[in-house]
Structure 1
Amino acid sequence: MDTATRVVVITGASQGIGAGLVAGYRRLGYTVVANSRSIGESDDPSVLAVAADISRPGVGERIIDAAVQRFGRVDTVVNNAGIFIPKPFTDYTDADYDAITGVNLRGFFDVTRAALRVLGPGGHIVTISTSLVDQANSHVPSALASLTKGGLNAATKALAVEYAGRGIRVNAVALGVVNTPMHDPSTHDALAGLNPMGRLGEIDDAVDAVLYLEQAGFVTGEILHVDGGQSAGH
């Protein structure tokens, strides 16, 4: 166990942006604790895979405990896991509500709370949010995303102020539409039109933003928009 190497915990790490974040932090020399519900074991000894559902009480603490037991410390948490279900508000079901709030809110709460108990000076928490919080779109009805991610934006600022005295930074990255396997290629042109730049974001755009915040020691309480101008308007 090398307790001198910095350690990052990444949720939703099995594919898409999460997998990109694992690779990005490894390039920085971090060891990684990678979580998702169905993640498989890694061939990289510096990546510990923890398969677990963060919407379930107690799982967040178990992930942080696993990080400390394996690597001796936690320096950064990236709350990347999230559920997005676009629907007209009255079409949402109780099951939709439970699924979205379970991952987006309960997962954030449990992982972040456990991490803040062990993070020291120089610690960092980053949460992935959405620009739909700032720029709603009638073509993408997503009130439950705004309910949860808007709350996470507010919590980001509150925690940044609360923990600044301990030398811990707290930030968020508000994304536009990113080109991941969840979007059918037939929808790409329409989705690209949701922002002034007229293209989808790429996984590297999201990863670069998180890694910028990781290394920006004087930035805290920031909601960094990476959305092709979506939050600015149309």
Structure 2
Amino acid sequence: MTDATITPRVALITGASRGIGREIAWALAGRGFSLFLAAEGTPAELDEAVAECRRRGAPDAASGIVDLAAAGAAEAMVAAALARLGRVDVLVNNAGIRCRKAFGGFTRADFDGVVAVNLAAAFFASQAVLPAMRAQGGGRIIHIASQMGSVAAEENALYGLTKAGLIHLTRNMAFELAREGIQVNSVSPGPIATRFNLDTWGRQPGKLETMAGRVPAGRMGEAWEVAEAVAFLATAAGSYIQGHDLLVDGGYVIH
């Protein structure tokens, strides 16, 4: 699919009020995408993100507060984006939550909550957007997974499970949908210096240094670096990539 086949270009991004999701929105705005930003954040956060998208070149931008853990929320979100912007050419399933516990300590509520946001929401949003993409003659679906979907780590059994599930979902969707002009890929960030991560790890003495030390590149990544990978997959530059998990991790998984 070339850029010409996705003009006007519209992207729907979940978890777009802060961190990696917001950077993805800004990167696509700078490439001329109109945007629908969905998040569980505050109206003020979303309004600020929308305003910045317009400043960076988005022809149009809108937002909606969405609790993706709720049944039917993903489908309603897609319907709202289509009603507001008329089409969805790129769906970026970025929203995600963590629940860190040693294996053996997870509750059913922990499991259901993380699976609902990290995996089920992406699954059902992707299904919901298919009729529009088919009618348009194609589209792009990009899941934001994690390097933790490929490696093991302490207290990450549940989070890693959902991210590994996203990577498999990417491959299976790509296999089924490729002949309909729908490209499906995932991006797996490594340790990224988002405000959330810096605040969380910064409360543990030496944690930031430890995380950076595990990365062969010798540093944590930046959210914009993940956003640029997503933009690559969302535009003509990534037109022959299908079913791929693009690691943006500074080499984390190779050690």
TM-score range, shorter chain: over 0.9
Structure with the higher fraction of residues in helix conformation: 2
Map of 1:29 onto structure 2: 32
| Alpha-carbon RMSD | 1.6
Tell me which of 111, 124, 127 is aligned to 1:97: 111
Which amino acid in the other structure matches residue 27 of structure 1?
A: G
Tell me which of 217, 228, 232 is aligned to 1:208: 228
Which amino acid in the other structure matches residue 197 of structure 1?
A: A
With over 3 angstroms needed to count, the CA separation of the structure-2 counterparts of 1:4 and 1:225, relative to structure 1, is closer
Tell me which of 171, 190, 193 is aligned to 2:210: 190
SS in 2 for 1:117: helix
Which amino acid in the other structure matches residue 78 of structure 2?
A: I
Which amino acid in the other structure matches residue 198 of structure 1?
A: G
Which amino acid in the other structure matches residue 23 of structure 2?
A: G
Give how far 1:4 is off: 4.7
* Contact kept in structure 1, 2:149 and 2:165, CA below 8 Å: no
With over 3 angstroms needed to count, the CA separation of the structure-2 counterparts of 1:205 and 1:182, relative to structure 1, is same
Q: Which runs of 5+ in 1 are unaligned?
A: none
Which amino acid in the other structure matches residue 92 of structure 2?
A: V
Q: Return the alpha-carbon distance in structure 1 between the equivalents of residues 114 and 38 of structure 2.
A: 17
Give how far 1:22 is off: 1.1
Give how far 1:194 is off: 2.2
Alignment of 1:72-83 (within 5 A): 72-83=86-97
Q: Return the alpha-carbon distance in structure 2 between the equivalents of residues 4 and 202 of structure 1.
A: 29
| 1:33-73 deviation per Cα after TM superposition (whole angstroms, max 9, x unaligned) | 10011242344472111101111111111111112111111
Map of 1:16 onto structure 2: 19
1:177 correspondence with 2:191: yes
Q: Return the alpha-carbon distance in structure 2 between the equivalents of residues 86 and 229 of structure 1.
A: 23
Alignment of 1:122-133 (within 5 A): 122-133=138-149
Q: Which runs of 5+ in 2 are unaligned?
A: 1-5
Matched positions, count: 229
Alignment of 1:48-59 (within 5 A): 48-59=62-73
Structure 1 ranges of 4+ moved more than 4 A:
none
Length-normalised TM-score, structure 1: 0.92
